[in-house]
């Protein structure tokens, strides 16, 4: 396991989280027979595409966005915990995409986990971004939180 995490590495993780989320939602959209749920998956897929592009643009930009200095100790342990959980996410998403009999509730529960993980990763990144650029991450975090609310509401509707 890596001992130090640069902002660029966190951005790469964030970009992958979004890409894998996009793949998951695209697959769920195709598999869904319920038009209302299909619309939700499409909306979330499009959001993930937008977020991935934002992170790609940041990685390709100059260093005006990133701070390369890191502290040690708790931050390293926190990032290691996030990364160790994240490492399995692509495999879990691939398994979920390939699963034939995923119920809507199971799919929503899985998507909720992805969205919550995204909030954790992006919140960790906020401590290492220049203050005048925080609005970008704040916007994405707010959107991810909104996804959690939307998915939770959809789950409640389906349980009725």
- CB of 10 within 8 A of CB of 79? yes
- What is the structure's pLDDT at 3? 42
Over range 4-23, report the average pLDDT. 74
- What is the structure's pLDDT at 1? 40
Over range 17-37, report the average pLDDT. 85
Q: Which domains does the chain have, with CATH numbers?
A: 7-159 (1.20.1260.10)
Instruction: Give the residue carrying structure tokens 């619309």.
Output: 39
CA distance 74 to 145: 25
pLDDT digit string, tens, across residues 117-140: 888 878 877 777 777 778 888 888
Is the pLDDT confidence value at 84 over 80?
no
CA distance 14 to 116: 12
For residue 12 the two structure tokens come to 């790469």
Least confident of 54-63, 97-106, 128-137, 149-158: 97-106
- CB of 114 within 8 A of CB of 144? no
């Amino acid at each position: 396991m890596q001992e130090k995490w640069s902002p660029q590495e966190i951005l790469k993780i964030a970009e992958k989280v979004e890409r894998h989320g996009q793949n998951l939602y695209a697959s769920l959209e195709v598999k869904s027979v319920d038009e209302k749920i299909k619309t939700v998956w499409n909306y979330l897929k499009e959001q993930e595409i937008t977020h991935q592009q934002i992170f790609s643009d940041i990685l390709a930009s100059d260093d005006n966005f990133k701070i390369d200095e890191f502290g040690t100790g708790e931050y390293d342990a926190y990032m290691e915990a996030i990364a160790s959980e994240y490492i399995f996410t692509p495999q879990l998403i691939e398994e979920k995409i390939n699963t034939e009999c995923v119920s809507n509730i199971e799919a929503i529960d899985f998507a909720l986990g992805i969205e919550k993980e995204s909030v954790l990763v992006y919140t960790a990144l906020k401590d290492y971004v220049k203050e005048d650029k925080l609005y970008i991450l704040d916007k994405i975090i707010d959107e991810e939180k909104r996804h959690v609310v939307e998915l939770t509401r959809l789950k409640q509707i389906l349980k009725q």
